[in-house]
Copies of this chain bind each other. A is one copy, B any other.
Amino acid sequence: MFAKCTHHLNSSFIRDILAVTQQPGIISFAGGLPDPTLFPKAELAKAARGIHNQYGGDLYQYSETAGIPDFRQWIADHYDTPGSKEEIIITTGSQQGLDLTTRCLINPGDKIIVEAPSYLGALQVFTANQASLSAIPIDDEGPDLDALEHYLEQERISCFYTVPDFQNPKGTSYLLQRRKALVALAERYDFWIMEDAPYRELRYRGETLPSLQSLSPERVIRFGSFSKIIAPALRLGWISAPQPVIKIVEKMKQCADLHSSGYDQHLVLEFLRQGSLPAHLEQLKQVYGERLKIMFNTLSSQLPETVKLSKPDGGMFIWTELSETADTMKLFRKAIKQGVAFVPGEAFHIDGGSKNCLRFNFSNSDSEQIQQGIKRLTALIINESE
């Protein structure tokens, strides 16, 4: 009845369980959600009044497929991207960036390498577009480049997909040396790097590392997002890439939705022009950074010493590896009954793996919830391992 590609359409485990985890009384470390109490409501309302007063009917008219020119210019001016606004296109969230780019780059059967574990929404896009997926393990310092090179010696790949800053789900970042070695491989073996960077601005300690794109502008397609630093409901992201890529993605976007909400683009641009981002970002970093500390300390003080925790410097997630025989899918079902939720590790793999791991989100729970929730969970985990 439906097209062949729909056989590969998997609904996201996370989206499916969101309904369950949003029941009252549940402490949810599951979704990758920003804390809604921190959204800059007043500043966005001010921006809404601002654009209402500044613009006539044009605010509500059709606009350019690539995005409002001044908005693209703002991104070109304020992010460490190469090139001008001609190398930037606005997308309906960075999720659309991934889908449009994949549609433009990948024929069915073309090979994409992903991280193991990897961002679920990207895996969905790649499988829906019938890419052939393989995974390379990542450790706390980046991808296993020996494994990658071994693969490249045997197979031609189209793309390597990565979240090098505060990875989803592990929370860790690539070291500079691994970044350099990865782009060197891309140049030697002629493939694209898709650099997904939605958490890059959410660094709570340490220094910002060069983007992969800055190390090899001709090889890297970078995806940015306003969802994590302003508001996900507005669905605004962007792609920065060499102009031929932007041009073809623009044509695909014309088919896909003509353009992203012009009203929301003007709203965010006005928020940015009013200078509201720096203070807001500072607040996010302070609150989320504190929550990361509390969660990390609570987990490491309460869980058995054999449990391994990732040590993120930013982002929204901590990755936890239980004893080898643990089954976090089973644990998930028990945890829900105890009023606490997380995402089991295997959700982040194309074909199993990390069955003894779990992802904790710390951005959307306050310190009391974090302590309460971890307490409930620790009891279950210790019970499990006995």
User: In the complex, what residue of chain B is closest to A53 when comparing beta carbons?
Assistant: B45
Considering only residues 70-99 of chain A, those with a C-beta below 8 Å from chain B are 91-93, 95-96, 99
Q: At the interface, yes or no: A20 with Cβ under 8 Å from chain B?
A: no
Residues in B with CB closer than 8 Å to A263 are 231, 233-234, 264, 267
Task: Please judge, given known A-B contacts A15-B65, A255-B124, A258-B93, whether A248 and B9 are in contact too, CB under 8 Å.
Answer: yes
Q: Which of A100-108, A177-185, A295-303 contacts B (4 or more CB under 8 A)?
A: A100-108
Residues in B with CB closer than 8 Å to A45 are 48, 52
Q: At the interface, yes or no: A309 with Cβ under 8 Å from chain B?
A: no
Q: Please, how many angstroms separate the alpha-carbon atoms of A233 and B92 in the complex?
A: 13
Q: Are A254 and B57 in contact (CB under 8 A)?
A: no
Q: Are B264 and A96 in contact (CB under 8 A)?
A: no
Q: At the interface, yes or no: A214 with Cβ under 8 Å from chain B?
A: no
Task: Please judge, given known A-B contacts A95-B258, A252-B128, whether A234 and B6 are in contact too, CB under 8 Å.
Answer: no
Task: Please judge, given known A-B contacts A121-B258, A254-B12, A257-B93, whether A60 and B6 are in contact too, CB under 8 Å.
Answer: no
Q: Are B31 and A57 in contact (CB under 8 A)?
A: no
Chain A 42-61 interface 0/1 with B at a Cβ cutoff of 8 Å (1 = within):
00110010001000111111
Q: Are B36 and A61 in contact (CB under 8 A)?
A: yes
Q: At the interface, yes or no: A37 with Cβ under 8 Å from chain B?
A: yes
What is the interface size of chain A, counting residues whose CB is below 8 A from a CB of the partner?
71
Q: What number of copies of this chain does the assembly contain?
A: 2
User: In the complex, what residue of chain B is closest to A57 when comparing beta carbons?
Assistant: B36
Q: Please, how many angstroms separate the alpha-carbon atoms of A40 and B299 in the complex?
A: 53
Q: Are A60 and B48 in contact (CB under 8 A)?
A: no
Q: At the interface, yes or no: A244 with Cβ under 8 Å from chain B?
A: yes
Residues in B with CB closer than 8 Å to A104 are 2-3, 6
Residues in B with CB closer than 8 Å to A96 are 256-257
Given A6-B248, A39-B57, A61-B231: 5 more A-B contacts, CB < 8 Å: A12-B254, A41-B56, A45-B52, A124-B254, A233-B263
30 pairs across A/B with beta carbons < 8 Å?
Answer: A2-B105, A3-B104, A3-B106, A5-B103, A6-B104, A6-B251, A9-B255, A11-B251, A15-B254, A33-B61, A36-B60, A36-B61, A41-B52, A41-B57, A41-B60, A44-B60, A60-B231, A60-B233, A60-B234, A62-B232, A63-B233, A92-B260, A93-B257, A95-B255, A95-B257, A125-B255, A234-B261, A235-B257, A235-B259, A263-B267
